[in-house]
Structure 1
Amino acid sequence: MMRFNRTATTIIIYLLIAVLNILTFGEYLKATKLAGGEVGMIPIAMIIIFGITFLLSTIAFLIINSKKKISIITSIFIYHIIYLGVLISWGFDFKNLTNLKYTNVDLFIILIPFLIWAIVSLVCKLWVSKWIEQNNQF
């Protein structure tokens, strides 16, 4: 039977979250049909942001988990807090969130990761955590 430890499982989940965010955001940009001049560099910026978030979250998880064992749900929460921190450090302006049109890229830079957060957290809560408990990993 294949056994994963806490660190490997969390890193795989972080990587999955980053990839899902990048793919979903790319599909969103295609659906908006905005001109390339308006959104041309946003996919590259998002790849960089999610890459930085992945690295910082992994480091934070390793540090926190070495002192106190944390759950998968808590580690996913840490990932998204770090994501918001990276966005803020890159100069994200929350004032633009008041425009609720589907072409408001700033709004979807926040909404898509929170949607992914909800989905991944639910999947982890329902299936991954139970699988790990059955295999005595945590």
Structure 2
Amino acid sequence: MTENIKIIASNRKASFEYFLMETFEAGLVLQGSEIKSIRAGQISIQESYVDIPNGQEAWLVEAHIAPYEQAGTHFNHEPKRKRRLLLHKKQILELWNNIRIKGNTVVPTKVYFKDGRAKLEIALAKGKKAYDKRATIAKRDEARDNERASRVR
């Protein structure tokens, strides 16, 4: 079975701000104009997060999907509305139990098309402290310097 995956948007800031512990693949409940905007690449998940208010349903909050230009005003969508995520009950329960622990949250990391359907990769994450972020920056700078040095040789 071959999987056709085309990444539309990614949240690069998430791996800098959080330790990503476990990832899940979720479907999105979208309107017609939203899926057309996503196909055009008009989505941003930088400030978005996943909310599980009652332990029953998962929602994508604050994701910005730009209004579709060719749709009329009557058929267009609200850009920052809450969108329901399609996950198994076991997965929602696992996320719910983990986010009740202090410092844990669920962040979206990627939006992509898999076999023609829009999917969202979400990750169970723990917030980094300032010294963790500095260590990440130092490691990244060191790797860049090593790459430059090996290229010069």
Q: TM-score, normalised by structure 2?
A: 0.24
> Which protein is bigger by CA-based radius of gyration?
2
Give 1 or 2: higher strand fraction: 2
Give 1 or 2: higher helix fraction: 1
Q: TM-score, normalised by structure 1?
A: 0.26
